[in-house]
Each structure stands twice: as structure tokens, then as C-alpha cells.
A and B are shown apart, each in its own frame.
Chain A
Amino acid sequence: MDFQLSEDQEALVSALQSILQDHAELPQAERFSYSYFNADLQRLLGESGFLGAARDIGPLEAALVTIETARLPVLVETAATGLVAPMLLPADGPVDGPVALIAGGAIGKAHRNLPIARTALVDLGEDVAVLTIDPADVEPVASILAYPYGRFRAIPDLAAARRLPGAGARLRQWWRVALAAEVAGAAQAALDFTLDYVKQRQVFGRPVGSFQSVQHRLVQCHAHAQSTYYLALRAAWSGEAVDADCAASLAQQGVQKLLFDLHQFHGGMGVTTEHLLHFWLYRIRALQAEAGGVHGIGLEIAGRMWPAATQATGADAAPQIAEAG
């Protein structure tokens, strides 16, 4: 047991942070956007090897990369591209990214990151389909959820797609690790942003952050962000499915509180798009229902920790969907 980053891990994080610092600024034109994907930074992270961490070093390091990038208000896609895809396709070499993750049962709906994706991994329950995405086939969908959303103009032919037989559980496992890492980073950043705000914003002649009711709720948000951080890293370290489930479950269980309280403490400012808060909060909200959601993942945990004679693990959370297309 060692909760301290090793020297190499520290070096990785600080090298990454110095790149991120130089590219974290939101361009003037994007000040009022719901989300802003920084394609240049995405390319740079790829070129400087940060998206290859899972393959070159290990999944824990890839999760650290995701946590750090999730702290930025601007978006780069490291979770699926740098962690999930390499863990699912270890023999493939670098996957053409960004990568989008898609629940097969909802293929006709809008998907997170689809407009920027070059590859999509589709959860079919038992199997996974790997799709090559042509941006011309994707119709952007407006959303306050702070990722680019888009839907397929025509439902892709999954039968013709490359298929990874039996890889569904593994996809969901790493999807859960990745989403927990992303929530951990975004929650920490949203909390830091809020702490700065409540320390300087005065009401009744004193800072908002001096009221006990505000303080206590911020501490509870902090506990949630910190627990999610360690659970995500443990799940990346261990490669155990139940650890991934616990990480994602806790990440998603905290969403209600984070969204409500952090919005609350910014008053009216927090509902404007010129205030950065929404970039983090609506990423967290977007991740709330993925890879099973609290209910589905709770069932998976129960199935793994206390299996019932009649119950196949994960049967409720990941129904095998009928072949599409």
C-alpha cells in the first residue's frame, strides 16, 4: 500500500501540467460555449506520448493523465482514447483517436464526443463493435452537457463492423475506471473554483465561505472528490472489475450533491456561461448515466460481492442487445 505518487509518476504529472497550463486558456470566441474541444492540445498530447501512457507505462498512469486533463475547462479526450481503447485493444497499437464510447442499445441517440471522434467502441452487451467514424456521418446535437454531442445521420451497420467477441465486460470495466477518473478531476477542479469564489464573494459583510452550512457541504463535496480519485486509481492499478464498479458507482452517486451544491454557492453567476463552472459540472452530469449508471453498477457490485446462484454477474446491467443494422 502506497498512496504517494512515485518519482516517475510525479514527473509524468508535472510534465503534463506544464503542457496543459500553456493550452488551458479558452479562446475569446469560445467564452460563451457549452463546451470547447481543443484539437491542438489533443494532437500535442498524442505527439508527446501522454495518450500512450497505458500502453507504455500502465493504466494507472493513463488514469493520472485523465484526471489531470479533466481539471481543465477546455476539453481533450484522454479517457477513452488514452485508457479505455488501449486496455481493450492492447495488440492494436495506437488507435485513431479521439475515441467515443457508445452504449449499443441507444445507438440512434446523441453520443458524447461523437462529433470529434475518429473511432467509436460500441458496447453490445457480450461483444464490442469497433467503428471508424467519418465526421461527415455525424450530425452535431446542441447540449448543455459540456462535451460535443452528435448522432449518426444513418445508423451504422454494426454487423459489418469489426467485432471483439466477449469484450463487452472488459469495455465496461475500463469505461468505469475512465469515467471515475474524469469525474475525480472535474469534481476537484469545480470544487477548487468554488472555493476561490466563496472566499472572495462577500454577503452580509462576510465571505460566503465563512458560513457553516456552506463549509460543511463543501467538505462533503471534497470527501466525494477525494474518494473518487483514490477509487479510480485503485481500479486502474488493480485491473479488478469490482474496483472499477466501486469507483464509477461512487463517482456517480456524488453527482446530485456536487451539481446542486456547487451551483448553489455561485448564485446567479454560476448559471452564466461566462463563468467557467458549467464546463466541469456538465461534464460530470454527462457521465452520471454511463456504463450502467448508479443502479446498473450497483447491481454489478452486488453480483460480484454476493453472487446469487441463479444470477449471472452483470446480467441486469448489460443486456445483450439484438444485432443492429
Chain B
Amino acid sequence: MEFGWAPEQEQYRERVKAALDELLPADWDETYVPESYASDLQVHFSREFCAKLAERGLLVPHWPREYGGNESPDWEHFILGEEMKGAGEPRGPQYMNVNWIGPTLMAYGSEAQKDQHVKGIASGKVIWCQGFSEPNAGTDLAALRTRAERDGDHYVVNGSKIWTSYARTADWCFLLARTGPTRKDISILLVPMDTPGISITSFPGVIKDGHLNEVFFTDVRVPVQNRVGEEGEAWKIVTYALSYERVGVPRYHTGLLALELAVEQLKAEGRWDDDPIVRSRAGSIAARFEGARLLTYRVIDQRVHRLPATTDANLSRIASLEAVSDLMNFLGEFVPDCLAGGDPLLEDYYRINIPAGITGGTNEIQLDLVAQRGLGLPRG
């Protein structure tokens, strides 16, 4: 057992940081980050940025060589993710592409789909959105109602999706639609977002722009060859896809960076040295993030050792979320101006994290999974 980075892992982190220094514009922190990673500005920027990352072998290094990757070790992929998130996620929505959409298509896509989409993703120029949630189907995704009815060599899609991040700027949608009567009769369609019959309404919210979209499908014709896998196979495929996203965002990393910004501000305003309560609270929160960090690293380590997946990934999310909630409360109490004209980077941190317990699987479901599958408690 040991807890240090190997020299090559440290070098890799430096390489990623150097690429970020080189590729991000000088006004990145001032202009781009405050807009947040789902904003149109950042999504457009990501096309440029990811293409350059791809040239440097830093977009899909963990992928198999046949798809343009370098089969890089799990830790390197993870370090890359930490640094990208820490920098404000200049990959925009493309982190989804490289983390799970690409790998899912490699596993389940047809040859034509792999040829088009896996290559497209590896080029860093294509934006995807994820069309899962609906107004009446979020946590209980199997309740979704968007229908895809067969009409010759096309499906005709009708219904609506909601909370579809990046929908306004996306080229493609990874869509879940009902193709039969039972709860499990759901299929995956790859839908070009410029297909006639798709319309998008965005609405404002307390989080940053770019996430809150409703996408309406009215008689949208999608070729049958755009289906991934067989009809009714969506569950199996989505379960596979989500296994790639199990640990989620490295929230301890972004959290500690935000905490540091808050401390700098408190120091500059003379509210640090003389206030032991503020300092001890900040120190306690740092400890919580460190705990969450180790629970997350444990999951990567299990992957490195090729151990079977457990609910430890869910546990790491739960621990991270508790620390995030502590930090948001700390900001609200001691750095309240971050939500009223203060540091825009802190505002961005705060607002991105408002739904931290909801996105990527709501916290209560994470808790259920650990309780029942991890601790063996009986279902209610």
C-alpha cells in the first residue's frame, strides 16, 4: 500500500498543465470561466481547444490505438480529467464524448457508426448532448415517454427531453426513446440536431447557462442505421456507458481550488489571520475533501488492478458531495459576495455545484445502491 505519485505520473500532470498553459487564452479566467463550461462561448471554444488537444495526444490518450488513442494507463486518464476540471473544463461538453460516448460506440456501435462518430470524437470538433431525462422521467428513467416508431427504414420520433445540457450547440444527440410498450422497451438513437422537427427552448436558472434546455421532437425522422445495438437494448448499453462515468467529477479537486480562492480573498480582506473560526472551518473542509479524494483514488486503483466494480464509486460521490455542501455553506457564510458581484470564479464554482447531488444520478439513489449492494441491507 502506498499513496504517492510515481515520477511518470507527476511528469504527465506537468505535461497536461503545460498544454493548458499553452492552449488557453490569456483571458481564460476572466472571460471564459465565469461563463461556465456549458455556455455557448465555451462550447464553441472547446471545438478549437479539443482539436489542439487531439493533435498533442491529450484528448483520447486512454482509448485503444485503433481508435486514435494511446492505451494510456488509467491513472493518466484520471490525472488529465482532474487538471481539465481544475482549469474550468475547457473541453466543455467533450469530456462526455471521450469518457463514455466514444467508448460506448466502440463497444456497441456498428462499423459505420464507429467510423463516423468515434473518429469524429477523436478529432475534438464534434459536440454531443445526452437526451435521457424528460419532464416526467428523471431518476425513474424507465418512465420516459418519447416514442420512436418504425416507418420503413426510419424511426419517427415524438416527445420531449429536458435538462439537455449543450442542446443548443450540439451536433448530435445520444437519445433514449421508447420503441415498445414495456418499461424496458427503450432504444438508443444517434440523432443529428439539425434534423427537421427538433426545436429547443432554453430557460434561465440559478445555475450557469447552457444546461437548462427542453428539446422537442415533432415527427423527427431518424434512419434506422442510427440505432445503437438492437431495439430494446438501451438499458444494457446505458449501464455499460455509465460504468465509465462511475466516479464522476473530481469534486475534491475543484473544491480545494475554490477553497483556496476563498482563503485568498479572506486574507486580502483581513478576515483570516484574526478569525480562528473561519480558519478552522476552512481546515476542516479541506480534511473532508482529502477524505473524498482517497475514496475516489481507491476506485481508480481498483480499476488499475482490474478488480470487479463495486459500489465504492458511489460511496466516493457521496463523500465528495458532503464536502461540496460544506464548502458551499462556508462560501455562503463567510464569502457571500461571491454570489453578488464578488469573485466570478467562486460564483461559477458555487453555481455549477448547486445541482451536484442531482446530476449524474441523484444522491439518494447513490445511497440506495451502497446500502443495498455494498452493505447488503434488505430492500424496502
Residue numbers of A with Cβ under 8 A of B are: 1-6, 9, 60, 195, 198-199, 206-207, 209-212, 214-216, 218-220, 222-224, 226-228, 230-231, 233-234, 237-238, 243, 245-247, 249-250, 253, 294-303, 305-306, 308-311, 316
The secondary-structure label for the interface of chain B is helix
Known: A310-B273, A311-B273. A222 touches B375 (CB 8 A): yes
Q: Select which of A2, A3, A233, A299 is within 8 A of B283 by beta carbon.
A: A299
B286's partner among A1, A211, A301, A308 (CB-CB below 8 A) is A301
Residue B319 lies at the interface, judged by CB distance under 8 Å to chain A: yes
Judged by a CB distance under 8 angstroms, whether B183 is at the interface is no
Give the dominant DSSP class at A's interface. Answer: helix
B287 and A249: CB pair below 8 A? yes
Given A3-B302, A9-B1, A219-B374; A298-B318 close (CB under 8 Å): no
Q: Are A306 and B282 in contact (CB under 8 A)?
A: yes
Residue picked from A228, A245, A299, most chain B C-beta under 10 Å: A299
Q: Would you call B269 an interface residue if the criterion is a C-beta within 8 Å of the partner chain's C-beta atoms?
A: no
Which residues of the other chain, A, contact B374 by a CB distance below 8 angstroms? 219, 222
Contact B3 A219 (CB under 8 A): no
Q: Which residues of A contact B370 (CB under 8 A)?
A: 219, 222
Among the 9-residue stretches B57-65, B133-141, B204-212, B293-301, the one with 4 or more Cβ atoms under 8 Å from chain A is: B293-301
Residue tally, chain B, CB below 8 Å to A: 52
Name the contact of A215 in the complex, choosing from B2, B319, B377 (C-beta under 8 A).
Answer: B377
Residues of B within 8 A of A (CB): 1-6, 9, 75, 260, 263-264, 267, 272-273, 276, 279-284, 286-288, 290-292, 294-295, 297-298, 300-302, 305, 315, 318-319, 322, 364, 367-368, 370-372, 374-380
Q: List 11 A-B contacts (CB under 8 A).
A: A3-B301, A215-B371, A215-B372, A222-B374, A223-B295, A223-B318, A231-B291, A238-B3, A243-B290, A294-B280, A298-B280
Contacts A199-B377, A207-B378 given; does A3 touch B1 at CB 8 Å: yes
CA distance A212 to B318 in the complex (A): 15
Known: A216-B367, A234-B294. Is A4-B305 also a contact (CB below 8 A)? yes
Chain B residues whose C-beta falls within 8 Å of the C-beta of A5 in the assembled complex:
1
Closest CB-CB distance, A37 to chain B, in whole Å? Answer: 30
